[in-house]
């Protein structure tokens, strides 16, 4: 069952929606109710792909500066 991730263009709130039909209308933002939402890639793929990059980018460099 496909789960689509949407991001609201009005308030930038991101939310996931389970889609039963093959081509449904974009849902309203669950936070502000705006219909201006954009569909993103499925959540499972984006989480798996981006987390490694984020970890590498967020890893601090502990060696320089203090000794
Ligand atoms: Zn919104």
CB 42 within 8 Å of CB 5? yes
Q: What is the pTM of this model?
A: 0.54
Residue 44 sits in a domain whose CATH number is 2.20.28
Q: Give the domain range for residue 18.
A: 3-54
- Ligand 1 centroid to Cα of residue 62, in Å, is 39
Would residue 10 count as lying in a domain?
A: yes
Q: How far is the CA of 36 from the centre of ligand 1 (A)?
A: 8
Q: For residue 7, tell me if it sits in a domain.
A: yes
Whole-number Å distance, alpha carbon 14 to ligand 1 midpoint, is 8
pLDDT in tens, 7-59: 999 999 999 988 777 666 778 999 999 999 998 866 455 555 444 555 555 56
Q: Other C-beta atoms within 10 Å of 5: how many? A: 19
Domain count, the chain: 1
């Amino acid at each position: 069952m496909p789960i689509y991730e949407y991001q609201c263009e009005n308030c930038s709130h991101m939310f996931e929606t389970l889609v039963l039909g093959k081509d449904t209308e974009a849902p309203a933002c669950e936070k502000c109710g705006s219909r201006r939402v954009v569909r993103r890639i499925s959540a499972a793929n984006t989480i798996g792909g981006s987390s490694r990059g984020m970890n590498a980018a967020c890893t601090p460099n502990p060696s320089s500066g203090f000794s």
